[in-house]
Amino acid sequence: MQLFKNEQAFLEYCRVNDLTGTCFLIHGYCFQWPLFTQGNFYSIEENFGSDKIFIEEGINKSGRVEVTVSDYIKRIQSGVKGMGNWSWQPHLSHAKSLNNSFTVPEAITLNNIEKSLVGELVLAPWILMSATETVTNMHQDMLSVNGIVGQLQGVKEFTLVAPQYALEEGKFYSTYELETLGIPFECVVLHPGDFLYFPAHWWHQAKTIECSVSFIHSTVNLYNMTAFLDDAISQMPALIQRVQSAAKKRGYFGYRIKWLCNGFRSLG
């Protein structure tokens, strides 16, 4: 794990080193984002409180209920635990107001992919809000994407394990368990403004220390481009479903999306 005290230290290191295959943390990187001032509970409720989202009443469970963002925030702040939210993508549904609300270091992304229609829909970011002690169990991300977390409010702990180790998907591991198994791991605590990057296929789990708002994003770069394209073909049905779901949130309809999805089907 590479730790950088600020963006300048990161940029200086990147001039002579490739970080795309390395986990790293940049302290304070997100402070420069317009999203940082918009991404706290108060501003989210004020600007997006009427948005409808699906939440899991019990993390990683199948039962989902539809609530407003405002109601969900009230549940979080009242101490309700064990809720999950993976359904809110305001950068799709509020694209105009959130356009250019964040930046990703050029060293870890391919703009030609990220700014394409496929990139806009498949790699669209999420805003994840969680109550204290909420956990996200150990897993690897679909489509071989690299992971990004920008901490906007609260405190969150991430545990990262290299891809070559065999772990149980959907289990939350204590540090004691990982040490007993002899599995090396990185444990990092994210505070507001911190920016975390981890490469494709890395195992990761998270625990909320203080009521949290996190920006969750994915990137494609030269490190994972081949794996991403391979997965896009081999996981075609899931990819098409993601494109169609994101297109609906973004308000894209008609021949453009039909052509895109039909094109994917012919590739598969």
Q: What is the mean pLDDT of residues 18-46?
A: 97
Tell me the CATH number at 64: 2.60.120.650
Higher per-residue pLDDT: 154 or 123: 154
Higher per-residue pLDDT: 48 or 268: 48
One DSSP character per residue, 218-241 reads EE--TTTHHHHHHHHHHTHHHHHH
pLDDT tens digit sequence for 173-186:
999 999 999 999 99
pLDDT tens digit sequence for 142-179:
999 999 999 999 999 999 999 999 999 999 999 999 99
Higher per-residue pLDDT: 6 or 86: 6
Q: Is the pLDDT of residue 113 over 50?
A: yes
Q: Please check whether residue 29 is in contact with residue 152, taking contact to mean a CB–CB distance below 8 angstroms.
A: no
Q: What is the mean pLDDT of residues 206-231?
A: 94
Task: Work out the burial of residue 34: count CB atoms within 10 Å of its CB; fewer than 13 is exposed, 13-18 middle, 19 or more buried.
Answer: middle
pLDDT recorded at residue 203:
98
Q: Please, how many CA atoms are within 13 Å of residue 182, restricted to the half-sphere of its CB?
A: 0
Specify the 3-state DSSP secondary structure of 73. helix
Q: Is the pLDDT of residue 201 over 80?
A: yes
Q: What is the mean pLDDT of residues 201-214?
A: 96
Q: Is the pLDDT of residue 200 over 50?
A: yes
Which has the minimum average pLDDT: 26-35, 57-66, 116-125, 175-184? 57-66
Q: Give the structural domain span for 66.
A: 2-267
Give the chain's domain count: 1
Q: Is the pLDDT of residue 266 over 50?
A: no
